[in-house]
Structure 1
Amino acid sequence: MAEHVDLTVETHVMGSRTTLTVVRAEQCEALAALHIAHVAVIDACAPYAVVRTNLSGAFLQVCLDGAGQTLLDGRWYAHRPGVASFSPAHALHAFHCVPRKRWRTAWVRFMPTSPRSVHGALAPSMMRFDGTVLEHAILGLSQEVATGNDPGTCAVWVDVIDRYATRLLDPLQREPRLVLVWNAVAGDLARDWSLKELARLASTSEEHLRRLCQKSLGRSPGRQLATMRIARAAHLLATTGEKVEAIAREVGYANSFAFSNTFKRLTGLRPSDFRAHPRRHEDPSGLH
């Protein structure tokens, strides 16, 4: 079992045997137009490790081959082929290679201005997804930027990347009953939502709602509600000067102690520590 990295320190370790293909918005107008900071394919091995204590823009990463470890929702997950991870902005996010194993992934990093990065966007998620086409589109874009850099051809590659990201990141659109439920919740996070109320909004039983959420979101209704509340709280802590107690009430926690405990469980930091932590919009290398 690999030792996990220190989650209190911004970290970006590449290692000499890790190779990276990356295209940034500064190199490609089509990426910038869609508020995508950069896209990449990486073939990594230990000591490759990344920790972002306050992710400035949402991040999508799909495992293509090998094995790694990814932190989301305050938990470590085995990140294997055919599985994608999504981390929203202002979240604690980390991943690293497993010793003696290579790990090949493709990623899309969104700008803070992207709709994917605003509060209320999809909560942290691990999802089944075949990243083969996404990988080929990123490599195709990289080749075009390095050779002809024709704007029209680049736009075609970027359109494919965006379409596949959208297909993955809009799971609620595949289940209209959940759209009604979570749109209502997002509009009133302070409300004391019960499972019975959520099921009524979905016009289904409580048990069936659990199954729908597990299938589409990879989590129970209760955990989805908690992650939405903490995602909103993290956004407010990072972008406003509101008091922690006021933010707790705004996202549905009458008890500040319970809010602090849940926030730490899902982000790794207490709310006050999260707000006090230095903000970095990009890793020192500029790759993430």
Structure 2
Amino acid sequence: MSVLAAVEPIRTQVVRADQSDNREWLNEQPVCQLLTQHHIAHVGLMEAPQDFQMLRPDQSGTFMLACYEGSGMVLADGQWRQVSAGQACLLPPFVTNAMKTTGRMPWRMCWVRYLESRESNPIVSAGSPVLGSYDPQPLFHAISGLHAECAGLNTPANLHLWTELIHSYVLRFAQPHQADARLWKLWDAVEKSLDHPWTLEELAARACVCKEHLRRLCRDELGRSPMQHVTFLRMQRARHLLSTTDDKVESITRQIGYMNPHTFSNTFKKWIGWRPSEHRR
């Protein structure tokens, strides 16, 4: 269930993949079935006014937001993060998604929302950032072009081109080519051994850099500290195991490197939005 609130009207331009979602704000929007080829549920442009708030408790797909004017706050990794013009935010599936405006100026953004099953591998990977610098103009124009084509001549060849561009612009942010191979190798090793009791000192030694340099690299490329990224990878693995296995919570706790199920449960609730026991209901 989504909860939207705003004193002033919310202005949107949306293209949806099909007509299965009958929420009021999507009802009159054009359809492009080619979006389903990339498991995209809908794309759009939004002008969020003052006092805008949105809460989606169980977002069933990766969500990317790119801001081209103003700023607002997004709930990511269990904390509120500011997203300003020239930045993008990437949220994994099946977590609580919340956004709100904080100032008097409108918050203008474009977004792409995927539809993924709990068993599938989302486009969010070990190297995906949560927040970072991003030029929103190519994505903005691609979504505008798709909307205009859907509302106009609706030519299949043009729909295909706009759809491919939108997906590629998301991947440009979600799956970047790591400029520093040391980071790629580090997170590949961590993801393969999440049960290991990783420390900042060991992560830095693995990457052959000092702790402060590793912090700077991770902040610049991922928008998280090194240990926050370890937690992110652990929570994503836990979510996947809860969705695809019958393993007990105690077993999953140990598989991802926690000794105390209570600590794991509290961390999972902070990052995902609910407790592990509630994930299977």
Alignment CA distance shift 1:133-1:118 (3 Å): closer
1:180 paired to 2:178: no
Alignment CA distance shift 1:116-1:244 (3 Å): closer
Q: Equivalent residue of 1:62, what SS?
A: strand
Q: Equivalent residue of 2:132, what SS?
A: strand
**Structure 1 Cα separation of the partners of residues 128 and 213 of structure 2:** 21
- Superposition map of 1:122-137 within 5 A: 125-137=130-142
**Structure 2 Cα separation of the partners of residues 235 and 14 of structure 1:** 34
Q: What corresponds to 2:64 in structure 1?
A: 60
**Structure 2 Cα separation of the partners of residues 13 and 234 of structure 1:** 29
CA contact (8 A) 1:175 1:216 kept: no
1:219 paired to 2:224: yes
One-letter amino acid matched to 1:192? P
Alignment CA distance shift 1:123-1:272 (3 Å): farther
Q: Equivalent residue of 2:189, what SS?
A: helix
1:269 paired to 2:261: no
- Tell me how far 1:57 sits from its aligned partner: 0.5
Q: Report the identity percentage.
A: 38
- Structure number with greater CO (CA < 8 Å, separation at least 6) is 1
The correspondence for 1:166, drawn from 164, 167, 171, is 171
Alignment CA distance shift 1:119-1:191 (3 Å): farther
Q: What corresponds to 1:194 in structure 2?
A: 199
**Structure 2 Cα separation of the partners of residues 205 and 274 of structure 1:** 38
Alignment CA distance shift 1:113-1:150 (3 Å): farther
Give the TM-score of the pair, scaled to structure 1. 0.83
- Superposition map of 1:10-159 within 5 A: 10-13=2-5, 17-26=9-18, 27-98=31-102, 100-112=104-116, 117=122, 120=125, 125-159=130-164
One-letter amino acid matched to 2:251? A
Residue by residue over 1:34-57, the C-alpha shift from the partner in whole angstroms, topping out at 9 and shown as x without a partner, is 222211001121453221222211
- Tell me how far 1:87 sits from its aligned partner: 0.5
**Structure 1 Cα separation of the partners of residues 84 and 139 of structure 2:** 16
- Tell me how far 1:120 sits from its aligned partner: 4.9
Alignment CA distance shift 1:120-1:134 (3 Å): closer
- Tell me how far 1:212 sits from its aligned partner: 1.6
Q: Equivalent residue of 2:9, what SS?
A: coil
- Tell me how far 1:253 sits from its aligned partner: 0.6
Give the TM-score of the pair, scaled to structure 2. 0.85
CA contact (8 A) 2:47 2:108 kept: yes
CA contact (8 A) 1:85 1:126 kept: yes
CA contact (8 A) 2:50 2:102 kept: yes
CA contact (8 A) 1:52 1:94 kept: yes
**Structure 1 Cα separation of the partners of residues 81 and 260 of structure 2:** 30
Residue by residue over 1:89-117, the C-alpha shift from the partner in whole angstroms, topping out at 9 and shown as x without a partner, is 12122102236331111001112059772
CA contact (8 A) 1:91 1:234 kept: no
One-letter amino acid matched to 1:250? Q
Q: What corresponds to 2:27 in structure 1?
A: none
Q: Equivalent residue of 1:174, what SS?
A: coil
CA contact (8 A) 1:263 1:269 kept: yes
The correspondence for 1:210, drawn from 206, 210, 215, is 215
Residue by residue over 1:203-237, the C-alpha shift from the partner in whole angstroms, topping out at 9 and shown as x without a partner, is 33333322221221122211110111112212333
CA contact (8 A) 2:15 2:42 kept: yes
Residue by residue over 1:107-145, the C-alpha shift from the partner in whole angstroms, topping out at 9 and shown as x without a partner, is 011120597726755567111112112111100110001
CA contact (8 A) 1:58 1:86 kept: yes
**Structure 1 Cα separation of the partners of residues 88 and 62 of structure 2:** 13
**Structure 1 Cα separation of the partners of residues 5 and 15 of structure 2:** 19
Report how many aligned residue pairs link the two structures. Answer: 268
Unaligned runs of 5+ in 2: 19-30
**Structure 1 Cα separation of the partners of residues 110 and 124 of structure 2:** 24
**Structure 1 Cα separation of the partners of residues 145 and 237 of structure 2:** 36
Alignment CA distance shift 1:274-1:83 (3 Å): same
